[in-house]
Amino acid sequence: MSTLDMILGTARSVEPAAPKGTGQGSGGGCIIRKTNMTVIVVEHGPARSGQDEVLRGVDEFAEYLIRTGY
């Protein structure tokens, strides 16, 4: 099973973000949410917002896409 198959098979997962150009991790993460026809990928950092807030926003956006037929 490929990584893409694993990602698309999950309703929501939280993965660590890849380090940026400096070679140091940001302390953030990557949120992946699958709807009927779309995959939402959101990268977040600790300075911008907490993970729970980002998850709520991703879930709200996913529900909007589902309601509108995506």
CA distance 67 to 50: 26
Taken in order 39, 26, 55, 13, the sign of the CA dihedral is positive
pLDDT of residue 69: 78
Q: What are phi and psi of 37, to 5 degrees?
A: -125, 5
- Residue ranges for the chain with pLDDT beneath 50: 11-25
Residue 14: strand, helix, or coil: strand
Residue 5: the pLDDT is 59
What is residue 6's predicted lDDT score, i.e. its pLDDT? Answer: 59
Q: What's the CA gap between 17 and 29, in Å, rounded?
A: 4
Full-model pTM: 0.49
